[in-house]
Amino acid sequence: MSTSSMSAPVAQPLSGPVVAAEVRTVALLLGTAVAALLVYYFIGVDQGAMSVFGKSMYIHEFFHDGRHFLGFPCH
């Protein structure tokens, strides 16, 4: 009911960058973002507007309903 009790420790705001801009960290974050974008591409775009594995339609047809549903252009 009440707001936070007086004795409870107050959550501290962050005072500076938590994840430092070091090479290994940046590489991990960048690699993860690229992998995520590749998944995005294969679910939504490949074998539609452009195609990595030639002109087959297996990926397009398999993800077909999801592709429409997620808002990607199709057909």
Partner 1 sequence: MEKQLIGRGVLAGAAAGLAAFVFARVFAEPVIGKAIAYESARDVVQARLDRAAGLTVPAAGPDLFSRTVQADVGAGVGLILFGAAMGALVAVAYAICLGRTGAIRPRPLALLVALFGFIGIYAVPFAKYPANPPGIGHADTIGPRGALYLVMVASSCLLLFLAVYVGQRLATRYSTWTASVLTGLAYLGAIAVVMALLPALGDLHNNVVEYGRHATETPLPLRDARGTIVFPGFPADVLAQFRFYSITAQVIVWGVIALAFAPLAERVVAPQDSAARQDRRPLVRT
Candidate residues 23, 50, 54, 55; the one interacting with partner 1 per rule CB under 8 A? 50
Q: How many helices (H) and strands (E) does the chain have?
A: 3, 0
Decide if residue 43 touches Zn ion (CB under 5 A).
no
Q: CB under 5 to 8 A by kind: which of partner 1, Zn ion, none does 70 bind?
A: partner 1
Candidate residues 42, 43, 46, 74; the one interacting with Zn ion per rule CB under 5 A? 74
Using CA atoms, how far residue 5 sits from 1, 2, 12, 21, in Å, is 10, 7, 16, 37
Using CA atoms, how far residue 27 sits from 13, 17, 38, 39, 57, in Å, is 27, 17, 16, 18, 33
- Contact positions vs partner 1 (CB under 8 A): 1-2, 4-5, 8-19, 25, 28-29, 32-33, 35-37, 39-40, 43-45, 48-50, 57-58, 61-75
- Contact positions vs Zn ion (CB under 5 A): 74-75
